[in-house]
Structure 1
Amino acid sequence: MAKTKEVSVEQRLRALYDLQLIDSRIDEIRSVRGELPLEVSDLEDEVAGLNTRLEKLQDSLATIDTQISDKKNLIEEAKSLIKKYSEQQKNVRNNREFNSLTKEIEFQELEIELAEKHIREFKAQIEQKKEVIDKTKEHTKERESHLKFKKSELDAILSETAKEEEALISKSEEYKKKIEERLVKAYNRIRTNVKNGLAVVPIERGASGGSYFTIPPQVQMEIGSRKKIITDEHSGRILVDELLAQEQREKMEKMFKKL
């Protein structure tokens, strides 16, 4: 009965360390990608924002063109009214009618003057906006070029690692099913709380791998006996003996080469 228990614990330790090796391999692949996915995402957002800005600037140009057209129509209408009132002045019967028409002509002349002023202001706005549009187009082109480069860089890495990563993720899930749920939860918790995601580490030169705190000889013997799951009191990591770790590394390296 004791022998069965010992084998069971050893199997769990081996499965846990195998899982660690798989997840560490996934971590390495993702580390190669680094910040690239985030950089690409940020650049995509930036380019989209610049294109939206360009659209708004182009729309505002169209609006100004419409306003200029409206002012030109107003000028033509005013000129037509001035001509009409000037003709009417030739046939007035008294000074009162003449003065009234004169005021109408003066009003239309002011309307023309004001419209021409607005047209000049609108044209100045167009020049300013065109300058901003040119600069924005230039900046957009530069960011699009940078995005293209970063995406090609990311795509190259993904093409090299995507298949392996997918296979490893599948293996990780497969190995988790071999381990009881409470241990998987403990493993995930430790991985989240420690550096480099190392939840299961071997003893190396009498110390805990990953934290390098010395393990007392008696504890080292207990770990080597593989009769129970022991954690490092300093880091909380699950500890395995060096021989077991070496055996599992060799086994998993063969599996990785096949992926």
Structure 2
Amino acid sequence: MAALENKGTIARTDIETTRKELAEAQKQLEEKKAELAEVSQATEAEELKFRHEREKIVARIAKQDLTLYERIRGAKKGRAVVPIRRGACGGCHTAVPPQKLLELKQNNRLYRCERCGRIIVSEEIAETTSAIVPQASL
């Protein structure tokens, strides 16, 4: 009988301990939910800001250029525009002819890599863009 009472006492103690642990875990869960909601709200606000900035920029881009960009972006896993690095396309590393390098520096129109089809820009343009918009991933 004493052994049975002892087991009952141990079981009650275990239940109490488990309830305390459960209460602590629920408290931590609520804290984490609050943190997540805060981070999520901040992220949504930042996303909205970036969407507005993008809309302003898109409004200044010719429709055909934007269509080209969106098509390439979808086909090239988000990397539609790449800089020239050491005389080669930053996407596929194919050498760009010297004449095209000179034309790129004039920045008169869009140029595409003959091999991968991405829009290519001079290093100067890429550096200028990165300085203006640090998160810019051409």
Smaller-chain TM-score bracket: 0.5 to 0.7
Which residue number corresponds to residue 240 of structure 1?
Answer: 121
* Higher strand proportion (structure 1 or 2): 2
RMSD: 2.4
Give aligned pairs, total.
Answer: 106
Q: How does 1:2-13 map to 2 (within 5 A)?
A: none
Q: Secondary structure at the match of 1:203?
A: strand
Letter of the structure 1 residue corresponding to residue 55 of structure 2: E
Greater relative CO, 1 or 2 (CA 8 Å, sep 6+) = 1
Q: How does 1:70-109 map to 2 (within 5 A)?
A: none
Residue deviations 1:188-221 (CA, integer Å, cap 9, x gap): 11111102x0111111122212322222222212
* Greater radius of gyration (CA): 1
Residue deviations 1:61-98 (CA, integer Å, cap 9, x gap): xxxxxxxxxxxxxxxxxxxxxxxxxxxxxxxxxxxxxx
Q: How does 1:126-165 map to 2 (within 5 A)?
A: 152=33, 155=37, 157-165=39-47
Off by >3 Å, runs of 4+ in structure 1:
151-157
Which residue number corresponds to residue 111 of structure 2?
Answer: 230
TM-score by length of 1: 0.37
Question: Structure 2 CA distance, aligned partners of 1:193 and 1:223?
Answer: 23
TM-score by length of 2: 0.65
| Cα pair distance change 1:154/1:201, threshold 3 Å | farther
Deviation at 1:174, TM superposition (A): 1.3
> Of residues 68, 82, 98 in structure 2, which corresponds to 1:217?
98
Percent identity of equivalent pairs: 33
Q: Secondary structure at the match of 1:220?
A: helix
Which residue number corresponds to residue 84 of structure 2?
Answer: 203
Flag structure 1 segments of 5+ consecutive residues without an equivalent: 1-144
